[in-house]
Structure 1
Amino acid sequence: MTVYPALAKSFKAHGTSREMTTALFLLRSVEIGISVGDLDLLTIVMVLDMWTEKLMMM
């Protein structure tokens, strides 16, 4: 499991049994304000990086 150093300070690193499904990916996108149309312009990694940055700012 990859743990980002900044996240390791804020959250306890542990494994998860939840896989990234399409529904979960779309939920993560909506949480950070990305529309379905905008997803055509972004990669999965870009969306996950944005979501990770959101977590670090909490």
Structure 2
Amino acid sequence: MEIVSTRHGTYAGVAELSLQGTRRCALVVMQQKTRDAALNRATIRAGHFVKQWDPTRA
């Protein structure tokens, strides 16, 4: 995951998500007011993607 400070003083980034070593997608984190908010947002969104990969989900 890479989070950077933008010229506007916000934070944004990209996280590469993989499953068993195979890259599945890139998750873009739009501008957030703080670095912690960007990390939290990425964690929540990544959780949503991972749930979709679970073959046992209903």
| TM over 0.5, shorter chain | no
Bigger relative CO (Cα 8 Å, ≥ 6 apart): 1
Q: Indicate the structure with greater strand content.
A: 2
Q: TM-score, normalised by structure 2?
A: 0.37
Q: TM-score, normalised by structure 1?
A: 0.37
Higher CA-based Rg: 2
